[in-house]
Amino acid sequence: MKLPRTTLILILLALGLGGFVYLYEFRGATVREEINEQKQQIFSFAENDVQSLTVKTRKLTLNLERSSESSNPKWLIKSPISGPANDAIVSYLMDLLVKGKSERTLSTPIKELGEFALDQPQATINITLKNRQNHQLILGKSNFNRRFLYAQADSVAKPDGNINVLLVSTDFTNAVNRELSEWQQPVDNSQKLPGLSTPLPTPTNGK
């Protein structure tokens, strides 16, 4: 029996739609899983493990150290000035270092690092832990769609001579490119208001 042309077209459309659903739902899910599996934690230390940080940008080199006292502030600026640090600003950076993930890893020849601006980075973060271990994060330029930054973390050349280049959050740019005044603890103006003086009695003539 010969099927009507319209019915045949509908059957072909249904088969095509079924194939699309299969590719999107099943094959697509597999691809999404593989991409998620590529995401890796940048560092494995915890926030309380960190003793000091050095943030070097093109405008500033800042040395921060965890306060030995339990009271606020938790962080102190050691140079280029000395004083309490803005805990909220430091915590923002620490949260990125501790919880941040690399979206993808690119195995790159050392001679090509300049293409990612990693030879002249926008910032370098050196981390010293309480156990004296050192870590480093180098931040390069944004990728083509400005969704991520190219970065190096504890970069060591692999046996093939390549270096792993990471794709990390652009939030790192906001976290490190700050004026020195932003890193300082905000001034509590309420404590600087002059006190009200008691008026002196008006002198009287001989009385």
φ and ψ at 197, to 5 degrees?
A: -90, 145
φ and ψ at 44, to 5 degrees?
A: -110, 0
Identify the pLDDT of residue 15: 57
pLDDT tens digit sequence for 50-105: 999 999 999 999 999 999 876 677 899 999 999 999 999 999 999 999 999 999 99
Nearest by Cα to 137 from 99, 166, 178, 171: 166
Give residues with Cβ within 8 angstroms of 11, minimum separation 6. Answer: 3
- What tokens were used for 99? 């919880």
Q: Note whether 153 and 136 are within 8 A (CB).
A: yes
Residue ranges of the chain with per-residue pLDDT less than 50: 20-37, 190-198, 207
pLDDT tens digit sequence for 64-74: 999 987 667 78
Query: CA-to-CA distance for 201 and 198, rounded, in angstroms?
Result: 9
Is 201 exposed, middle or buried (CB count within 10 Å of its CB: 0-12, 13-18, 19+)?
Answer: exposed
Query: CA-to-CA distance for 180 and 61, rounded, in angstroms?
Result: 9
Query: CA-to-CA distance for 197 and 117, rounded, in angstroms?
Result: 60
Identify the pLDDT of residue 48: 93
First-residue to last-residue Cα distance in the chain: 131
- What tokens were used for 86? 């803005």
Identify the pLDDT of residue 69: 77
* pTM of the full structure: 0.71
Identify the pLDDT of residue 72: 73
